[in-house]
Amino acid sequence: MRSTGPHSSPSPFAVILGTNEIASAVAVALHRNGYFTVLSHDPFPPVIRRKMAFHDALFDDQIVLDGLTAQRADSSLEILRLRAQASSIVITELGLLDLIIVQTPAILIDARMQKYQITPDLRRLARFTIGLGPSFAAGENCDFAIETLPAKAGQIIERGATDQADGIPPLLGGRGAERFAFAGAPGHWHTALEIGTRIFKDYTVGFLGNTPIIAPFDGILRGVVRDGTEVLAGTKLLEVDPRGRMAVWFGIDARAKQIAKAVTQAITIHTGATAKAGNPFYLVK
């Protein structure tokens, strides 16, 4: 489906809202299936698992996921240029309204994981829309919805709502919510530590304003909000992996892969339905 010459049709245009690890895994899957894929950054919630996501490419850091990188674009003209070059995945701070001006997306996916925010109606903003996670309802604010809760991750919903967030993270090395540290108040976040650093209980990972934020227990820093970020009260600031040598803080994890696979399956289902209705859609390879 990629452009192969000056007279070839361009690859179909896909927009993903979010730059977190789920959004990035979906971007990899869509790119593999021939879509020109653009990740649109949203500041809330901040990305903490930054070695599992393309997010830091916004700051010109090289992030490689499954052999792919993302290129930053700061304008619609840059996006058009990269598309003409049949470029790799693109990441931008441009919002959806700016991207729609480039072209109406063939696929629009909301992967921001804004569990407790007002969920917009994505329909009619693209030819096919998918909402990932809580607060999405197929047929009401998106065409299809996909579960992201760990026990149901990757379930495709063609009609009806996803489960609401339960606030209970899956266990990792026997640890649940206690492996995260949260912002007790809004403020400016500072840290000098890199993801993958070995840390110990009560070690100061960073400062929220003048307040030190400490590690809850010994482990590997699996995720941390980027230095210099403004955060809201209740924001996850860091995550500690307690598994020692078994800790993983980079690459695409199993849950993200499962959700990304479900996205491509949902597109295939929709493709078949629209083809039967005499309305051909962009095929997924």
Q: Looking at residue 106, which CATH number applies to its domain?
A: 3.40.50
Q: Looking at residue 233, which CATH number applies to its domain?
A: 2.40.50.100
Does one domain contain both 53 and 185?
no
Does one domain contain both 122 and 236?
no
User: From CA 124, how far away is CA 108, in angstroms rounded?
Assistant: 10
In this prediction, residue 120 has a pLDDT band, given cuts at 50, 70 and 90, of confident
Beta bridge partners of 99: none
Answer yes or no: is 247 within a domain: no
Is pLDDT of 274 > 90?
Answer: no
Give the per-residue SS3 of 28-68. Answer: HHHHHCCCEEEEECCCCCCCCCHHHCCHHHHHCCCCCECCE
Answer yes or no: is 4 within a domain: no
User: From CA 134, how far away is CA 157, in angstroms rounded?
Assistant: 12
Does one domain contain both 121 and 262?
yes
Reduce the DSSP state of residue 275 to 3 states and report it: helix
How far apart, in Å, are the Cα atoms of 253 and each of 44, 141, 149, 193, 247? Answer: 22, 28, 14, 22, 12
Q: Which of 7-11, 31-35, 141-145, 276-280 has the lowest mean pLDDT?
A: 276-280
Instruction: Provide the domain limits for residue 50.
Output: 13-166+254-276
User: From CA 79, how far away is CA 98, in angstroms rounded?
Assistant: 11
Answer yes or no: is 271 within a domain: yes
pLDDT digit string, tens, across residues 182-237: 999 999 999 999 999 999 999 999 999 999 999 999 999 999 999 999 999 999 99
In this prediction, residue 67 has a pLDDT band, given cuts at 50, 70 and 90, of very high
In this prediction, residue 6 has a pLDDT band, given cuts at 50, 70 and 90, of very low
Reduce the DSSP state of residue 136 to 3 states and report it: coil
Does one domain contain both 131 and 68?
yes
Does one domain contain both 144 and 225?
no
Question: What is the percent of the chain where pLDDT is above 90?
Answer: 83
Q: Which phi and psi (to 5°) does residue 265 adopt?
A: -65, -40
Query: Is the whole model's pTM more than 0.85, yes or no?
Result: yes
Answer yes or no: is 5 within a domain: no
Answer yes or no: is 249 within a domain: no
Does one domain contain both 127 and 90?
yes
Q: Are 157 and 140 in contact (CB under 8 A)?
A: no
Does one domain contain both 153 and 264?
yes
Q: Look up residue 249 and give its two tokens.
A: 């803080």
Does one domain contain both 143 and 183?
no
Answer yes or no: is 61 within a domain: yes
User: From CA 218, how far away is CA 103, in angstroms rounded?
Assistant: 49
Does one domain contain both 60 and 151?
yes
Answer yes or no: is 270 within a domain: yes
User: What is the domain count for the chain?
Assistant: 2
- Exposure class string for 52-65: b at 16+ Cβ within 10 A, else e: bbbbbbbeeeebeb
Does one domain contain both 107 and 138?
yes
- ω into residue 45 within 30 of 0, thus cis? yes
Does one domain contain both 92 and 218?
no
Answer yes or no: is 171 within a domain: no
User: From CA 105, how far away is CA 71, in angstroms rounded?
Assistant: 19
Q: Which phi and psi (to 5°) does residue 205 adopt?
A: -85, -35
Is pLDDT of 73 > 60?
Answer: yes
User: From CA 234, how far away is CA 126, in angstroms rounded?
Assistant: 33
Does one domain contain both 78 and 181?
no
Mean pLDDT score across all residues of the chain: 92
Compute the half-sphere exposure of residue 166: CA atoms within 13 Å on the CB side of its CA: 12
